[in-house]
């Protein structure tokens, strides 16, 4: 039986605070001026986190970065558009999340990255269009990609492990764990709650060598002061993920905790927000801008 830490048990059992109800209002967040000014101003939001990552049954110090930015995307080719003005009806506005984790296991480092592309107008395009994942360490590389095609998710995975190799899978379009981070930023009032079917995220399935299959999940949301704890429990995986974010717009993600079983014992991965800035970082690629890393607390990182 999965034994959860006491604070997490409170979240799941609804014993600490009153659960938040999902509000089905007609107003769309992307139509509001504060949303447009924040997400369509030509800048990205960059957040850095102090990370404690469980790997091989031990805690590893590391860093995580969450980058959110809106961009014009091709629905058909599912790539960033080079010429949005000429794309016509193929153009869709997405919120892109780039999510990196870096940590060291003994003598060798891990570098992992997840990218997720979620349409901003959810009533027009209700499903995330694409997600990609890669992991690099001294033993080899792993890559995965998920694409929405014909109302199904086509998943491709490539690995240096013989038992995994090159694999492909087709799953019905349903909730993605990896899109929940974007949905928090876009419209947390319409996040899924209760018992749902979900596809577990790339970070978990690839690093723990778990098949990417639909799972039954119980999702709860709890408010404490100005923060909301969003809990996703997957009983068959003995796993719970709790994402904490600010209730008020722009719903900044303050951190997360993940509880799961690794090598036969209960372990925890957790992260806490350190720095957050808005920046058109793609235009700051000269040596003169390297000092900006200080404002993100990244200059002294060696992993």
pLDDT tens-digit readout, 181-211 = 999 999 999 999 999 999 999 999 998 888 8
Instruction: State the pLDDT at residue 297.
Output: 86
Q: Check if the beta carbon of residue 64 is closer than 8 Å to that of residue 51.
A: yes
Q: What is the tally of structural domains in the chain?
A: 1
Q: Which residues of the chain have pLDDT under 70?
A: 1-27, 299-303
Q: Does residue 302 belong to any structural domain of this protein?
A: no
- Residue that the structure tokens 């974007």 belong to: 182
Give the pairing of strands 166-172 and 265-279.
unpaired
Q: How is 55-99 classified by DSSP, letter by letter? A: ETTEEEEEEEEEEEEEEEEETTT-SB-S-GGG-GGGEEEEEEEEE
Residue 212 phi/psi, 5-degree rounding, is: -85, 85
Q: Does residue 20 belong to any structural domain of this protein?
A: no
Q: Is 183 exposed, middle or buried (0-12, 13-18, 19+ CB in 10 A)?
A: buried
Q: Check if the beta carbon of residue 258 is closer than 8 Å to that of residue 268.
A: yes
Q: Does residue 51 belong to any structural domain of this protein?
A: yes
Instruction: State the pLDDT at residue 3.
Output: 46
Q: Is 83 exposed, middle or buried (0-12, 13-18, 19+ CB in 10 A)?
A: exposed
Instruction: State the pLDDT at residue 90.
Output: 93
Instruction: State the pLDDT at residue 267.
Output: 93
pLDDT tens-digit readout, 51-75 = 999 999 899 999 999 999 999 999 9
Three-state DSSP state, 50: strand
Q: Does residue 148 belong to any structural domain of this protein?
A: yes
Instruction: State the pLDDT at residue 303.
Output: 42
Q: Does residue 25 belong to any structural domain of this protein?
A: no
Q: Does residue 290 belong to any structural domain of this protein?
A: yes
Q: Does residue 1 belong to any structural domain of this protein?
A: no
* Cα torsion 284, 287, 292, 298: sign: positive
Domain that holds residue 78: 32-295
Nearest to 38 by CA among 276, 229, 199: 276
Q: Does residue 26 belong to any structural domain of this protein?
A: no
Instruction: State the pLDDT at residue 1.
Output: 42
């Amino acid at each position: 039986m999965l034994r959860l830490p006491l604070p997490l048990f409170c979240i799941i059992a609804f014993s600490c605070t009153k659960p938040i109800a999902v509000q089905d209002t007609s107003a769309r967040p992307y139509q509001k001026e504060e949303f447009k000014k924040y997400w369509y101003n030509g800048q990205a939001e960059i957040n850095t986190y102090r990370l404690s990552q469980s790997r091989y049954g031990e805690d590893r110090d590391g860093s995580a970065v969450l980058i959110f930015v809106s961009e014009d995307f091709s629905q058909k080719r599912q790539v960033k558009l080079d010429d949005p003005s000429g794309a016509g009806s193929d153009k869709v506005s997405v919120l892109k999340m780039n999510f990196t984790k870096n940590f060291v296991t003994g003598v060798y480092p891990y570098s992992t990255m997840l990218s997720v592309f979620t349409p901003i107008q959810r009533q027009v395009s209700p499903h995330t269009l694409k997600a990609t994942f890669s992991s690099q360490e001294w033993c080899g590389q792993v890559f995965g990609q998920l694409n929405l095609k014909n109302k199904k998710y086509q998943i491709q995975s490539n690995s240096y492990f013989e038992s995994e190799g090159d694999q492909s899978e087709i799953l019905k379009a349903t909730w993605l764990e990896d899109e929940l981070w974007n949905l928090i930023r876009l419209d947390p009032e319409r996040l899924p709650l209760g018992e749902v079917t979900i596809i577990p995220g790339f970070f978990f399935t690839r690093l723990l060598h778990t098949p990417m299959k639909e799972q039954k999940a119980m999702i709860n949301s709890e408010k404490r002061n100005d923060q909301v704890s969003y809990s996703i429990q997957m009983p068959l995986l003995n796993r719970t993920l709790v994402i904490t974010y600010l209730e008020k717009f722009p719903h900044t993600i303050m951190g997360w905790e993940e509880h799961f079983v690794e090598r036969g014992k209960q372990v925890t991965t957790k992260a806490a927000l350190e720095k957050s800035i808005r920046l058109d970082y793609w235009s700051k690629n000269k040596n003169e801008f390297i000092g900006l890393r200080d404002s993100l607390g990244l200059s002294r990182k060696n992993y």
